[in-house]
Structure 1
């Protein structure tokens, strides 16, 4: 999957030398992939959109059922309207928050690291060099998207609320940053795996090269 050049024209990233990154890349480092969460999938996976919609539908049904004995089903149906309207408003608010979060986010994979430009109100960029990543796991997310979760090495301290919703849910003691609800996650995981393997093996190759030249 090639680097998407369209982010260069996005006004949200106009102040950055490279969209999604706070500074220019060092010589030899290249951007391999960039993407952002899918809005509807993010709202469902991290903000409980489906549960909120189901809750108000349940309340509406409960109100109709409770009144149907005295008013009849047809007479009780209008009583569900206030609950359904309130549910639509709440779901619209959640979708708006998810849209703002997705719009402000840009995930980047380079030849050396993963960078996560996140935050709608307070913007920050989380840099995860491949050497600081213990493992990366992919899980399915709503709408055919996927989430890639990172386990970090050492004493890396990350704030759950600072990174939310770009974290593995409910893992607050050992926070695991995540690229949430990205389209074509399997292809992204392949790019990530190949880049990490290449980068981590480079020191070994560099160390062996002088030995091979000496042997010759």
Structure 2
């Protein structure tokens, strides 16, 4: 199910070469801006510091005048800019360390900036896949696991559907052209699960010629 990814990858994003008959259909990673906005709440953080600046300015403007009030309130904007820059740096590192792979047999997620782990999710263990699409084309595809297999929320974060703590859903987070990727994933899973399984059976008695 998972693999500690300290060893050299024979193929980027996969802990080992795919077996015969399995082909890579798509590989991608989160968009930095989209990941910072959705996973790290960049807009909310920026808005909070702007609100603090406005509050400080409003309390001082009558006493100090607009220029002095803006100067005294400006540390909130400076601190907010530093925090937002830090969040963007974290999002960039997370995005660069991540590589999602869709093959004809599974979804693989290489995640983790400090401790890199690869999760292999065969289509047979996926109960459903839900797409959350944004206006700019970025989106998140959340995967619901079937059976007893469960992945930890903290282990997967931020590559997990937000706030589903009790039943974590690993997710291809903030990927570009998400609608096309979702269709590709749906087609691949359906083809894999409806493909007839061929097994070996003992040969039966030969039919006698009449």
TM-score by length of 2: 0.89
Deviation per residue, 1:128-174 (Å, 9 max, x gap): 10010000010024743100000000111211111000000111110
Gaps of 5+ in 2: 200-210
Which residue of 2 is the match for residue 192 of structure 1? 185
**Is 1:114 the equivalent of 2:107?**
yes
Look up the match of 2:120.
127
1:80 aligns with 2:73: yes
Name the residue aligned to 2:96. Answer: 103
Alignment of 1:10-29 (within 5 A): 15-29=8-22
Post-superposition CA distance 1:70-129 (Å, at most 9, x none): 122233111221110100100011111111000000000000000000000010001110
Distance, in Å, in 2 between the alignment partners of 1:108 and 1:45 is 21
Count, aligned residues: 195
Structure 1 equivalent of residue 159 of structure 2: 166
Give CA-to-partner distance per residue, 1:154-196, whole Å, 9 cap, x none. Answer: 1112111110000001111101000000000011011101100
Q: Which residue of 1 is the match for residue 203 of structure 2?
A: none
Distance 1:75 1:122 in 2: 48
Summarize deviations over 1:39-93 as a string: whole Å, max 9, x none.
0100110111111100100001100000011122233111221110100100011
Aligned to 2:204: none
RMSD across aligned positions (CA): 1.8
Deviates more, 1:78-87 or 1:173-182: 78-87
**Which residue is equivalent to 1:54?**
47
Aligned to 1:213: none
CA contact (8 A) 1:41 1:142 kept: no
* CA distance in structure 1 between the partners assigned to 2:119 and 2:18 by the alignment: 15
Correspondence for 2:56: 63
The answer (yes or no) to whether the contact 2:6–2:116 under 8 Å persists in 1 is no
8 Å CA contact 1:45–1:142 kept in 2: the answer is no
**TM-score, length-scaled by structure 1:** 0.86
Larger radius of gyration: 2
